[in-house]
Structure 1
């Protein structure tokens, strides 16, 4: 007959706390070797990076493959709460293994979305962050549905992240809503893209300029806005048409600004960047 334990099962939270407690003393003495990327981290943040790494590696050994900068981005996304950041990171790993098992999205998987040529990448802002421009009026739901669009979003984000130079972690985005109509309205797609950005690519968005937003678009925006986390909201700027170039020039040199906004660079489709 099977023996039934009379002791209460240990919760995952308890286990996490045990791991943190065991590593606390060690973390006090740890001085992380700085590769240049963590130089702006405080001593308290460095200790939490060490604590979080111990916790997530115990839960998923594949965590050993990621660098401290990624650990730090998840920590910062959860206001340095190690438990919350670890849960967020482990959720990301599970998603990554299932959604992108080969490590990347092939252009052949997202032909319809690429054919719409709705995202472009060129130039860098004054901080060295790559610039992407997305045209909402070029987005239409395609026959392959939501899953294909989500793969397109991952493809685009990976492209952007691959262009981020050493010493920088973010990109700048311009969302151009000119010509947008209800035919382009895709609430499920917008929310899916937002979820992927916030949950799986935290602390990657540096700033989002929304330009040429028509009145109709604001109705959809009101539906999306409650799902945007507070950290992301702080990075979003709606730009008045009459102040478009001057506002963009605050962050981007004219030599790096797209021609369509009064700059000198031509747009390059993201698949060709």
Structure 2
């Protein structure tokens, strides 16, 4: 995966001395940013000034998005700005219309491999992905990337005010060689980590067969440390009890002993 580093000689903390000595805190929604620290508020302002000078379209995003990129880079303004500008460049080229339409991803939609239903105890929307329903297609990698963007945008649209993350359940039951789409997995991981930072709240991996663990060992080094801390492999015998730690029974999918029926992501 490509790593972007800040341009030399353009540090946010030395390129504009006035911003350092007299930071202008830009707050678009006081309530939404109420859990921000003073350091975060100051750095949101610094980063906004920097990215808007590089790409005027940055003015269209809210402070919460700026904060997510900052948090993803441990509040390092230069690194977060480089990451954000890379995101904008990708967004303009890969999703020029601002969103992905169903007509662009018919094959992935037909597989019905991702569902959305319910919220966890923190109010985060819940998604369930069935790995055995995804098949590698070497000629349609971009279509799968668009499907990932479509699904992530759907999840984000379901987040209630004040919530920025989702909870995911990756069900690996029935997974086999035909589903071993390493290139697709890494593409999805890149999109999640580089373009939707701080959106994943928790990932439960359930029913993982031994064969899957071989592929997991290949993927694991590409997962950043923040994401690794959010991943939990669930023992089959403790599946429901583990889910209950994060989700009320009324919000757990029926297939895991709860009460909700799953809804395909495109219908959510």
Whether TM exceeds 0.5 here: the answer is yes
Report the structure number with the largest CA radius of gyration.
1
Which residue is 2:249 aligned to? 254
Which residue is 1:6 aligned to? none
Which residue is 1:88 aligned to? 83
TM-score by length of 1: 0.93
> What's the CA shift for 1:142?
3.8
Deviates more, 1:97-106 or 1:138-147: 138-147
Which residue is 1:231 aligned to? 226
> What's the CA shift for 1:37?
1.1
Question: Contact 2:28 / 2:63 at 8 angstroms: preserved in 1?
Answer: no
> What's the CA shift for 1:45?
1.0
Structure 1 CA distance for aligned equivalents of residues 143 and 81 of structure 2: 28
Structure 2 CA distance for aligned equivalents of residues 43 and 80 of structure 1: 12
Root-mean-square deviation (Å): 1.4
Which residue is 2:47 aligned to? 52
Which residue is 2:18 aligned to? 22
- Counterparts of 1:74-85 in structure 2, within 5 Å, are 74-85=69-80
Structure 1 residues 22 and 202: CA distance shift in structure 2, 3 A: same
Structure 1 CA distance for aligned equivalents of residues 16 and 255 of structure 2: 52
* CA displacement 1:232-259 (0-9 Å, x = unmatched): 0000000000000000011000100000
Aligned residues: 262
> What's the CA shift for 1:141?
2.3
* CA displacement 1:29-72 (0-9 Å, x = unmatched): 64746431111111111000000000000000000000000000
TM-score by length of 2: 0.95
Which residue is 2:132 aligned to? 137
Which residue is 2:149 aligned to? 154
Which residue is 2:3 aligned to? none
Structure 2 CA distance for aligned equivalents of residues 138 and 31 of structure 1: 45
